[in-house]
Structure 1
Amino acid sequence: YLVYSVYFFLLFVVLFTKAHRYQAISWDWLDFTRDGSRGWIEAVLNVVYFIPLGSLYGFRAKPAEFVFLALVTITGVETIQYVFYVGTFALSDILLNFLGCSIGYLLLKRVYPIFKE
């Protein structure tokens, strides 16, 4: 519980406190490729930030439930960023965050049975 509490706190800080009074929408799925190395670093971080969330969903959710929960959560985060002027609603972020969740989910499904035995 402590690890995930710290994770959610840090995720909140990263997602909702990095921009001040900024609001935009990006419909480009690959906008991170146009921003040079900074864009790629941000893309990798968008994947890494959501790996723990995917592993958390992996404890209980079946694959179809995982896809639904992950997409609703990520779309909700992007919407909150847009509505409260703390970031961009970006389809590329949804794609990258979902990729991170999927990695976490698949890792848990592979590794957890080994540790359980």
Structure 2
Amino acid sequence: MGWDWKLSLWSRPSRFSPERVRLLLQGAKARLALRKNRLRQSVITAEREIAALLAPESELTGAAFASASARETGRTDLARVRAEQLYHQLEHEEALHSVDALHGTITGSFQRH
């Protein structure tokens, strides 16, 4: 039988007062805000990379892109991969917004008591 963190949390009321929980939530919210900002910047960078890859004047150098059609195919493939990464980043950001909303609900609940 494993350690039951819920039992441990509630069996020590002096360590986990409403004020301590509020402080823990504030710290979590600050970390979440930093993470969201980093993620947002990453999304902006990815959007720019995709736009550059899809622009007709975009050029990639190297032996793998010797011909114009190979260059075009390579740019399209890179843009597709980067777009997939962007999609997953946006999914992650949506999850962070859900956590942020949950934090607001929890914080509001503590402020009413």
TM > 0.5 between the two? Answer: no
Structure with greater helix percent: 2
Q: TM-score, normalised by structure 1?
A: 0.28
Structure index of larger Rg? 2
Relative to its length, the structure with more strand (as a share) is 1
Q: TM-score, normalised on structure 2?
A: 0.29
Higher relative contact order (CA 8 A, sep 6+): 1
